[in-house]
Amino acid sequence: MNSGRAVFSQVMDHLPAHEFHRCVRRYGGERRHRGFSCMDQFLCMAFAQLTGRESLRDIEVCLRSLGPRLYHLGFRSRISRSTLADANEAHDWRIWADLAQALIAIARPLYAREALDADLEATVYALDSSTIDLCLSLFPWARFQRTKSAVKMHTLLDLRGSIPTFVRVTEGRRHDVHMLDEIVPEAGSFYVMDRGYLDFARLYVFVRCSAFYVVRSKKNVHLDRRYSHPAAIADGVLSDHTVVLRTRDSARAYPEALRRVHFRDSITDKRLVLLTNNFELEALTIARLYKSRWRVELFFKWIKQHLRVKAFYGLSENAVKTQIWIAIATYLLVAILKKRLGLDVSLYKLLQVLSITVLEKTPVLQAFQRTVSNVEIPAPSNQLNLLDL
């Protein structure tokens, strides 16, 4: 079915055209396109993400070298560095943010049956942020500290398949805890967070929404023990207590009891004090839920290493956010492709294969199998073995 079509076109087939045009119309993306549409802009930026282009000139040179083949890849405009730069400045970054949300809605059901580190049927989310450093002289609008600028990518990651469900790109000075004000907790779901999100007034919202949280405690949190529960010391659980907040203001903000689990990691010998509002799960399961938050850190590491989100093609806030959101959309397209084709490989390996076969005219499955076989299975030598004579 895909014979004679480039791999890049086959990847873009998983882009929901109806949702794409709806996002463009919502923010008037075609009103000032000047002959360079939002679709052409997305294709250019997605191509740059998949192939690791380093600059707008790099994108222009690579795409122009294709000549008439550009039309068959979906491009309808002449590619130039200045035109793409103008599009990144003019087209509202919220187009790509909404497009990423549409892709999230497609990707999440595909990964709904992925296994968790803990034996649990409920949905588990990990909330964290990653700072992207910028040059203060080039990005003064994102001033972070006295000598540098930065933007921060806040992400709520569904740990079944590592699919981001909530992403906010803010200035670097925005504190992590404020993201709790933008999240509507799902009843019965678990939210795993580091101690930067420890705010009892905001955590009480999870209780009222019948959702559960697991958060690492701080040293200056004053708690009074009410009950002690049996602890599986052999598994690393040092204590399991029901506690209440001691200080008046904290107790007013969070009037109910909490559960405190003290856990020691046998591998790193690190001790963790965790707070949660779930009293049903075993203490070891609570500890495993918190340890599973490493996946959101792995997600940030993967995005920064394999997509273009540290070196930017434009200097304005709109251009930076456009590039970040299109990078996330590209990540989601690759994740959707992986599931729909039934590829039992990591996203890292899949992206590496796509980066070198993106212009080949062959079915994706065939290109992937051929590339992997060429890498992992050495070609037989034509030279005869003397022992066989």
pLDDT digits (tens, 9 = 90+) for 18-48: 999 999 999 988 876 567 899 999 999 999 9
Q: In which residue are the tokens 């600028």 written?
A: 149
231-278 confidence digits (pLDDT tens): 888 889 999 999 999 999 999 999 999 999 999 988 888 899 999 999
Measure the CA–CA gap between 96 and 327, rounded to whole angstroms: 10
Q: Give me the helix-helix angle, 294-306 and 317-340, nearest 10°.
A: 110
pLDDT for position 119: 77
Between CA 297 and CA 98, with CA 143 as vertex, the angle to 5 degrees is 55
pLDDT tier, 85 (very low <50, low <70, confident <90, very high otherwise): very high
User: Does the pLDDT value for residue 380 go beyond 80?
Assistant: no
pLDDT for position 381: 42
Measure the CA–CA gap between 242 and 257, rounded to whole angstroms: 7
User: Does the pLDDT value for residue 386 go beyond 60?
Assistant: no
Give the three-class secondary structure for 363: coil
User: Does the pLDDT value for residue 158 go beyond 90?
Assistant: yes
Neighbours of 253 (CB within 10 A): 15
pLDDT for position 306: 81
Please provide the distance, in angstroms rounded to a whole number, between the alpha carbons at the two ends of the chain: 47
User: Does the pLDDT value for residue 338 go beyond 60?
Assistant: yes
Helix (H) or strand (E) holding 35: none
Look at residues 125, 128, 180, 184 and name the one whose alpha carbon lies nearest to residue 154: 128
> Would strands 271-276 and 212-216 be described as parallel, antiparallel, or unpaired?
antiparallel
Lowest mean pLDDT among 73-87, 204-218, 320-334, 348-362: 348-362
Give the three-class secondary structure for 223: strand
